[in-house]
Amino acid sequence: MNYPFAKHIYEFVILGSRFIGLVIPFDDEKEIGGLLAKVREEYPKATHYPYAARLLPFERCSDEGEPARSTGLPLLEILRGREVDHVLLVVVRYFGGTKLGLGRLTRTYRDVGLKAVEETDMADLVEGYEATLSMGYSDYSSFEKECERLGVTISDATFLENVSLKVSGDAKIVKPLIEKHTNHIEIENQKESLVKRRRQL
């Protein structure tokens, strides 16, 4: 299975009409409404916003005012054929004044959606690990540099009597890193999850 690592945009113009394909990762079907609203804000006054969403076993698609089954379903078929999951694929259209005809319209939506997916950096889902840590100021600087070098994410850092922060990433990287510094840090809480690891080109 393929999982988009980050949002990707592809644009194409034909007979004055502008098509923008957006590949948007998401992890909960409740996010879809908000993501679609954000697309409408980013591309106001577009003619149509057909889309397909896939988070197995959940699937959804919409023609968004284009002829029935001409856009949404072809976009969903791309996601199925390329085995892409955790993804919202939207193709925004600004009508340029010249009608494309149903056949060319469907082909254009499909081609733009496919190109957007093909250009997207994909990731694998791997075992992840997240922990909230506390450490002294003297240990934080070197720990931060090591996290940056290893691709471990630091978030929610607060600087009071000690430095409190959250680390997350690939469990095979984060766990050994914490064990290496176990004499200098205190683990406040921890949990395991699935995280995305970008595929090496």
Question: 2-11, 22-31, 38-47, 120-129: which has the minimum mean pLDDT?
Answer: 120-129
What DSSP element (H or E) covers 122?
strand 122-135
Note the pTM of the prediction, 2 decimals: 0.74
Tokens 């949002």 belong to 7
Query: So what's the architecture of 124-198 in CATH?
Result: 2-Layer Sandwich (3.30)
Domain boundaries, the chain: 3-120, 124-198
CATH 3.30.70.141 fits 3-120, yes or no: no
> 10 vs 3, 81, 98, CA distance in Å?
18, 19, 21
Under 8 Å between Cβ of 173 and 147: no
Q: Mean pLDDT over residues 114-133, rounded?
A: 93
Task: State the pLDDT at residue 134.
Answer: 95
Task: State the pLDDT at residue 73.
Answer: 97
Confidence of residue 66 (pLDDT cuts 50, 70, 90): very high
pLDDT at 201 > cutoff 60: no
Q: What are phi and psi of 49, to 5 degrees?
A: -135, 55
**Which residues face 22 on adjacent strands?**
9, 90
